[in-house]
Structure 1
Amino acid sequence: MLAESFETFVNSLQLKNSDDIDTKFKSITKRLNMSYYGSNSEEEHGYKVGSLGRKTAINGISDMDMLFVLPKTKFKQYDEYKGNGQSALLQDVKAEIRKRYPNESIIVRGDGQVVVVTFSNYEVEVCPAFENSDGSYKFPDSKYGGTWKRTDPMVEIGESEYTIDQTNGHFKNICQMVRAWKNNIGFKMGGLLVDTLVHKFLKKYPKYVTVTYEDYLNLFKDLFLYLKGQNKEQIYWQSLGSKQPVYDKGKAFIGKAEKAYNKIKDLTEESENLYEKLQEIFGIKFPIPEVVQKSEFSSYDLRSDNEQFIDDMFKIDIKYTLNIECDVKVDGFREGSLRKFIQNKTPLLHKRELKFYIDVNEAEDKGISYSIYWKTRNRGTEAVARKKQRGEIVKGTSQKVEPTSFNGPHYVECYIVSNGVCVAKDRIDVPIFQTPFKIKI
């Protein structure tokens, strides 16, 4: 029964727009082949890289990384360019792509390494490159006057494909479920780091090379244990295959993995709250078998008829950091931070005002066009009795005000949506304190 739920969930993560992505890839490749090789080929010199190339992407992915290999004879032109040759190269490639897509938004991204073509619900990031003698590639970085950087994605793709075959497809499944966890909880973790750490995990736990769906609960216990044990002071990890450095400045995944591990470490397939905890980790779409009775779930979390889920409204691909905070006010005066109230176990009284606001929004810092959505969810017996569970997702601004009106746990989530994709999310929980008081909301 549990094995079937894991398998069904994995199947739900598979790409549903792969044909459209493939069409765009071929179209851009053909245009650049015409520009630089005088050829109509839709496949030569173009490569899908990133998670699509490694075959670990999940449905909802908001960008396709592609490499286009330019003629070696062109390298001298840009390497000896008077000025910033790397910037000139990117602008030239941008101009050639615009011939195919005159009406689409086409920019050189802020980091100055790729040309970005924006379509509905996803972007294509085109990295022009030159092949090195060892099979790796050098690509332009236009920052700081311009330099050439090295990448070796084909070795990473090869290692990923080998491991997928070696594990009968389960390496791909595990990488995809880690992405689903990341998107559900709402924290940044690069795709190459996901695949690298899962690859290292399988090296450390070779028993899982022959894993089946029946083993997934124990596997994820060990995987979260492995992830939470990573060194917070580590600057980078060596990627699978190429051994190139993979950086993660915030290392948010370590703390998130600890919370996930604590949720499931003591669970078995017979545990009454097993599916509830798995949904908390992987999202509401983790399937619950029909034979599992609704009464087995927490009575305080009965869903209202109006509850909405961001997964049903937009694709999810968390790429940016979002932090929300909350001030507690009474009669217009600030009593303190909600997080401090919870930390100090200070009760929230009635007739208080909770002012939620965005404290960090990386999407705004990067100049990304976006919209803001909020969700307020009340839980507890009083909320159920008064039919005030709420849970609607509404468009808003950078602030949201809620009153404290009745006892029970409560949470507020905020979402950043760009180009039809939820790219950032955060949540503040307001839990019930069992003793000596209850938080009133």
Structure 2
Amino acid sequence: MLAKAFEDFAGSIQVNNIEDINTKFISITKRLNLSYWETDSKTDHSYKVGSLGRQTAVKGVSDLDMLFVLPPNLYTKYNNYQGNGQSALLQSVKGEIKRKYPNTIIRGDGQVVVITFSRYVVEVCPVFERNDGSYTYPDSSNGGKWKRTDPLLEIGESKYMIEHTNENFKYVCQMVRAWKNHVGFKMGGLLIDTLVHNFFNRHPIYTSAEFHNYLSLFKDLFSYFKGLDKGQKYWNALGSNQQVYNKGGVFVEKAEDAYNELKDFNEDSENLYEVLQGLFGKNMPIPETLQKSAEGRDFTNTFLDKQQFIEELFPVDIKFSLEIDCEVKQNGFRETLLRTLLRNRSPLLINKELTFFVAKNEFEEKELPYEIYWKVRNRGSEAIKRNMKRGEILKGSETKVERTSFKGGHFVECYIIYNGVCVARDSIDVPIALDTYNSK
């Protein structure tokens, strides 16, 4: 039963818009070949890179990274450019793509040209081939400079690992992405693939794993992740050995939480599937024989349950950090912040006014339009008795006001939506009049 659940989970998170992405890839390649190589080839000089190129992307992926190799004489032209030659190169590529998509939002963004389609973007990085087979690409920031990249070695190593592990490498990389997207923290795709690659090298027993081994595999994987140094600045990428930066190491703490939730479970443990769904999201299936509505097992929908899941409304591809908090007030006066109560394990009493707010939104730095959605979920016997479990996902603003009306282990979630994709999320527990609770 557990093996079937993991197998179905793996199938449910595969990329589901690959045909549309491939169509855009081909049309952009053809346009750039016409512009720079005087050929109408749909394949020459162009490569899918990133998670799609490494075949580790999941459903909801919101970007296609592609390299386009330019004629070598253009490097001399833009390297000798008076001013920021790297920026001028990006503007040239932008202008040529605009000829194909005149009504589409296209912008230069530091190192790439970004084409915004509905629910995903294509990032085109123009490059020049070097003698060693790697590539030089433009970075227009701080006056402009050239940098080196070698993603084809990463793609080659990923393909080798997929074959060498009978696709286990691919599935585990994808499931880690699903965990990251559901829990809601930033962890780059190349870092995920690199660390999973390192894990398989350290634990070769899982090279030939089958789906019934995945509970043990993920216990060991989360144990490996939580043992890493969150202060380490970078790891060497699979295949290319280029530096992949850590950016805060939030995944280490999240992995420790995940390990602690899983460590004592076996295939026959009660509530195992509730825990797995709490880690990996709604796409982790619950066997039909276990889908029972009962107090304290709030993970399935009853006929009257209004709960919605963000994965059912928008593709989810977490790329930015989001943090929410809550002001706790009594009679209009602020008493404290909810996260302070959670840290101090102090009780949250009934009849308080709660003002939830966005404390940190990394996406704001992009200076692009976005929307905010909120979800309030009430749990426990009182919520069931009053038929007030709620759980709808509604569009809102940077604040949301609620009241502590009755006991229960409630929670609130917030989502940042850009171009029809959830790119950041956070949640906070609201344990009203309970002796114990868990802070996220």
TM range (shorter): over 0.9
CA–CA separation in structure 2 for the residues paired with 1:297 and 1:386? 13
In structure 1, the residue corresponding to 2:408 is in which secondary structure? coil
Q: 1:185 aligns with which of 183, 198, 209?
A: 183
CA–CA separation in structure 2 for the residues paired with 1:275 and 1:296? 14
Q: What is the correspondence of 1:98-247 to structure 2 with a 5 Å cutoff?
A: 98-109=98-109, 112-247=110-245
Give the % identical residues. Answer: 58
Which residue identity lines up with residue 248 of structure 2 in the other structure? G
In the other structure, the counterpart of 2:274 is 276
Tell me which moved more, 301-310 or 361-370.
301-310
Q: Do the aligned residues in 1 keep the contact of 2:30 with 2:40 (CA within 8 Å)?
A: yes
Q: Do the aligned residues in 1 keep the contact of 2:406 with 2:432 (CA within 8 Å)?
A: no
CA–CA separation in structure 2 for the residues paired with 1:326 and 1:302? 27
Structure 2: gaps of 5 or more residues: none
Structure 1: gaps of 5 or more residues: none
Report the CA distance between 1:350 and its aligned residue: 2.4
Which residue identity lines up with residue 190 of structure 2 in the other structure? L
Change in Cα spacing, 1:380 to 1:153, as seen in structure 2 (3 Å) is same
Can you list the C-alpha shifts for 1:229-267, whole angstroms capped at 9, x where unaligned? 110121000000000000021211000001111111110
CA–CA separation in structure 2 for the residues paired with 1:316 and 1:301? 19
In structure 1, the residue corresponding to 2:259 is in which secondary structure? helix
Report the CA distance between 1:349 and its aligned residue: 2.3
CA–CA separation in structure 2 for the residues paired with 1:73 and 1:57? 35
CA–CA separation in structure 1 for the residues paired with 2:359 and 2:294? 37
CA–CA separation in structure 1 for the residues paired with 2:217 and 2:344? 36
Change in Cα spacing, 1:400 to 1:59, as seen in structure 2 (3 Å) is same
Q: Do the aligned residues in 1 keep the contact of 2:372 with 2:398 (CA within 8 Å)?
A: yes
In the other structure, the counterpart of 1:392 is 392
Which residue identity lines up with residue 234 of structure 1 in the other structure? Q
In the other structure, the counterpart of 1:78 is 78
1:417 matched to 2:417 = yes
Change in Cα spacing, 1:438 to 1:23, as seen in structure 2 (3 Å) is closer
Q: What is the correspondence of 1:266-345 to structure 2 with a 5 Å cutoff?
A: 266-294=264-292, 298-299=296-297, 303=301, 305-345=305-345
In the other structure, the counterpart of 2:351 is 351
Report the CA distance between 1:366 and its aligned residue: 1.4
Which residue identity lines up with residue 191 of structure 2 in the other structure? L
| 4+ runs deviating over 6 angstroms | none
Can you list the C-alpha shifts for 1:368-423, whole angstroms capped at 9, x where unaligned? 21100000000011111111111000000000010011011110000001111000
Q: Do the aligned residues in 1 keep the contact of 2:327 with 2:338 (CA within 8 Å)?
A: yes
Q: Do the aligned residues in 1 keep the contact of 2:328 with 2:336 (CA within 8 Å)?
A: yes
CA–CA separation in structure 2 for the residues paired with 1:438 and 1:11? 34
Structure-1-length-normalised TM-score: 0.96
Tell me which moved more, 283-292 or 213-222.
283-292
CA–CA separation in structure 1 for the residues paired with 2:128 and 2:93? 13
Change in Cα spacing, 1:388 to 1:81, as seen in structure 2 (3 Å) is same
CA–CA separation in structure 2 for the residues paired with 1:18 and 1:302? 30
Instruction: Give me the CA root mean square deviation.
Output: 1.5
Change in Cα spacing, 1:220 to 1:22, as seen in structure 2 (3 Å) is same
